[in-house]
């Protein structure tokens, strides 16, 4: 059951007060239900939604091939987006929304299959981002791995909490590569890549459970689940500032093509998310982690906020900083 729920509710690294429920354990065959998943980003030109049908008690889901989603922003209808045909193995959303979302917007979705037999709805609110810009310092260094020292990039990311409210955040580091052809000057890209964030030395991202590479060998009885989604609260720095310290692999560009001009930018993104989104991503930390032990740890409860069906729709707004890490001219 754990793996099946993970497959259904995780769609692309990267959630709300209304209609928040918890996904129940299903011990009997269920009637077909509409499954809707989406993670909306404020300011994005296009947001994708996964619309599927769950047709049996095994939670096997197939893409909806004929249907639509009607979008309301702050009580006003903005669009009705039609479902697109996609290949099941592509992992792409099958409904694209053109409506631009802004921080503070109240969003309502009404999804339906083409024949009108199945319907589902959801309401979410776009959180407000932090008010001050984030500051990033970088350092190329080494970090002890499982067997030896490894080259890595250290990021110290200073953030300022939104005052007088409980806040929930997610850290994402994104690498984007661009290539400019030496023949015609055409720029290709960006080609995104999301490196693994190593957060073992940060007290906030580990919730006080600092770790080292040796823990994999000797921490047999350690029941801590790693924070794979890099979500955290302001509980340790409420109304103040804090500097996250994390690591990634060293950004690099392939040496296979030395004729073109290559650039590599790193964007540090701090997402403001709601409490249900935070709880959802914490649940996903368990379902997608080798550290989670079903025998000794509490059962994972996956939140859902879709009425009339299944699924989770979340939203975020963000502050970000982009750094030029590689600028390699033609050889």
Using the 8-state DSSP alphabet, how is residue 252 labeled? -
Q: What's residue 28's pLDDT?
A: 46
Fold of 2-127+302-315: Immunoglobulin-like (2.60.40)
Q: What's residue 211's pLDDT?
A: 75
Q: What's residue 61's pLDDT?
A: 77
Q: For the chain, how long is the longest CA-to-CA vector?
A: 64
Q: What's residue 223's pLDDT?
A: 60
Ranges under pLDDT 70 in the chain:
1-30, 56-60, 88, 212-223, 291-297
Strand partners, 241: 160
Q: What's residue 160's pLDDT?
A: 97
Q: What's residue 287's pLDDT?
A: 83
Among 40, 34, 10, smallest CA distance to 125 is for 40
How far from 31 is each of 52, 57, 85, 118, CA to CA, in Å?
Answer: 14, 8, 24, 11
Q: What's residue 270's pLDDT?
A: 98
Looking at the chain, the number of H-run helices and the number of E-run strands are 3, 19
Q: Is the dihedral of CA 89, 94, 100, 104 positive or negative?
A: negative
């Amino acid at each position: 059951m754990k793996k099946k729920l993970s497959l259904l509710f995780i769609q692309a690294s990267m959630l709300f007060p209304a209609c928040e429920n918890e996904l129940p354990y299903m011990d009997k065959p269920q009637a077909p239900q509409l499954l809707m998943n989406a993670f909306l980003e404020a300011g994005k030109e296009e947001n994708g939604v996964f619309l599927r049908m769950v047709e049996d008690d095994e939670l096997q889901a197939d893409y909806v091939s004929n249907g639509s989603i009607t979008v309301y922003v702050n009580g006003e209808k903005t669009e009705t987006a039609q479902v697109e045909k996609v290949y099941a193995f592509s992992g792409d959303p099958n409904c694209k929304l053109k409506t631009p979302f802004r921080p503070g917007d109240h969003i309502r979705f009404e999804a339906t299959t083409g024949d009108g037999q199945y319907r589902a709805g959801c309401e979410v609110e776009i959180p407000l981002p932090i008010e001050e810009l984030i500051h990033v310092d970088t350092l190329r260094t080494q970090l002890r791995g499982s067997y030896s020292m490894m080259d890595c990039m250290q990021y110290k990311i200073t953030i300022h909490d939104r005052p007088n409210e409980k806040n929930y955040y997610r850290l994402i580091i994104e690498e984007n590569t661009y290539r400019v052809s030496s023949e015609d000057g055409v720029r290709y890209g960006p080609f995104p890549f999301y490196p693994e964030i190593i957060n073992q030395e940060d007290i906030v991202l580990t919730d006080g459970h600092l770790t080292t590479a040796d823990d994999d060998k000797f921490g047999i009885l350690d029941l801590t689940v790693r924070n794979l989604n890099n979500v955290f609260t302001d509980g340790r720095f409420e109304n103040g500032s804090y500097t996250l310290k994390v690591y990634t692999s060293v950004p690099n560009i392939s040496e296979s093509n030395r004729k073109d001009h290559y650039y590599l930018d790193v964007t540090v993104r701090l997402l403001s998310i709601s409490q249900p989104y935070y709880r959802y991503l914490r649940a996903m930390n368990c379902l997608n982690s080798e550290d989670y032990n079903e025998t000794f740890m509490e059962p994972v409860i996956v939140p859902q906020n879709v009425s009339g069906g299944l699924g989770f729709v979340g939203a975020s707004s963000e502050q970000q900083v982009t750094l030029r890490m590689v600028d390699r001219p033609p050889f």
